[in-house]
A and B are shown apart, each in its own frame.
Chain A
Amino acid sequence: MALLEVEDLATHFHTREGTVRAVDGVSFSIDKGETLGIVGESGSGKSVTCYSLMRLIPEPPGRIERGVARFDGQDLLQMSKSDLRHVRGDRISMIFQDPMTSLNPYLRISTQLIEAQQTHRDIDNKAALFKAIEGLEEVGIPDAANRVKSYPHEFSGGMRQRVMIAMALINEPDLLIADEPTTALDVTVQAQILDIIKQRQERLGTAVILVTHDLGVVAGNCDKVNVMYAGQIVESGSAEQVFYEAKHAYTRSLQKTIPSLQEKGQELYTIPGLPPDLTKPINGCAFHPRCPFPKTGAAETGRPTLKDVGDGHCFADCGYCDSSGSIEDVLAKGDTDDIQLPGEGVKA
Chain B
Amino acid sequence: MSDRRDDFLVLENVKTHFDLGRDFLTRRSKGVVKAVDGISLTIKEGETLGLVGESGCGKSTLSRTIMQLIRPTSGKIWLEGKELSAISDRDIRDVRKNFQMIFQDPYASLNPRMTVLDTLSEAIRTRHPDSKGDDLLQRVSELLRTVGLNPAQMKRYPHEFSGGQRQRVAIARALAPEPKLIIADEPVSALDVSIQSQILNLLKRLKSEMGLTMIFVSHDLSVVRYISDRIAVMYLGRITELGNAETIVDDPLHIYTKALTSAIPVPDPRAEHSRKRVILQGDQPSPIDPPSGCNFWPRSPVEHDAQMKETVPEFVEVATGHWVSNCRFCVEPTAATSG
Which A residues fall within an 8 A CB radius of B? Answer: 41-42, 142, 156-159, 186-192, 195, 213-220, 239-240, 243-244, 253-255, 257-262, 264, 267-271, 274, 338-343, 345-347
Contact = CB atoms under 8 A, between A and B. Distances in A.
B93 to A, nearest CB: 33
Nearest to A158: B283
Contact of A259 (B161, B197, B202, B260): B197
Contacts of B311: none
A188 B269 contact: no
Contact of A258 (B54, B193, B269): B193
A239 B271 CA distance: 12
B29 interface: no
23 contacts: A186-B55, A187-B220, A187-B263, A187-B264, A191-B279, A213-B193, A214-B265, A216-B272, A219-B267, A219-B271, A219-B272, A254-B194, A257-B194, A258-B193, A258-B197, A259-B222, A262-B226, A268-B200, A269-B197, A338-B202, A343-B150, A345-B162, A346-B160
Contact of B269 (A42, A189, A239): A239
A259 B194 contact: no
Interface string B263-298: 111111111110001011011100000000000000
B272 A220 contact: yes
Q: Which 3 A-B pairs have the closest CB atoms?
A: A216-B265, A220-B272, A260-B222
B309 interface: no
Given A191-B262, A274-B162, A346-B153, 13 more contacts: A186-B54, A187-B54, A187-B260, A187-B264, A187-B265, A188-B280, A214-B265, A219-B272, A257-B193, A257-B196, A262-B226, A264-B225, A270-B194
Contacts of B98: none
Nearest to A194: B265
A220 B282 contact: no
Interface of B: 54-55, 148-150, 152-153, 156, 159-162, 165, 192-194, 196-198, 200-202, 204, 219-223, 225-227, 245-246, 259-260, 262-273, 277, 279-280, 282-284
B198 A338 contact: yes
A141 to B, nearest CB: 10
Contacts of B282: 142
B225 A259 contact: yes
B267 A261 contact: yes
Contact of B165 (A217, A255, A345): A345
Given A187-B219, A267-B204, A243 B268 contact: yes
Nearest to B151: A342
A334 B225 CA distance: 27
